[in-house]
Amino acid sequence: MGDAEQACEDLREALRAAGVMLPSLGLDVASYAGSTPFALIDLGRCNVATARALAYALRPGQGAAR
C-alpha cells in the first residue's frame, strides 16, 4: 500500500506542476479487498475544464495547462 500511496502522491504533484488538479484522486480502497490485493489509483471525476486541462497537459510539447 505504501508504494501505491507514493505513486498517487507523485501523480498528484506531476498534475499540479502541469496546472491540473483532480479533486477525487486517491487510492481505490476496494482494490485492496480479497485474498490477492491489487492496488489501484482512482483518478475520480472532474469537470469539463479540468478534463480539457488534463488533455492539454498530456499532449507532447504542451507543458503546463492554461
Q: Provide the residue type at 62 as one letter.
A: Q
Say if residue 2's pLDDT is above 90: no
Grouping H, G, I as helix, E, B as strand and the rest as coil, residue 41 is strand
Q: Which pLDDT score is estimated for 62?
A: 67
Report the alpha-carbon distance of residue 66 to residue 53 in Å, rounded. Answer: 7
Q: Which pLDDT score is estimated for 14?
A: 93
Q: Provide the residue type at 34 as one letter.
A: G
CA-nearest of 55, 25, 18, 54 to 40 is: 25
Judge contact between 16 and 9, C-beta under 8 A. no
The per-residue pLDDT for range 13-64, each reduced to its tens digit, is: 999 998 899 999 999 988 888 788 788 999 999 999 999 999 998 888 765 5
pTM: 0.78
Q: Which pLDDT score is estimated for 64?
A: 54
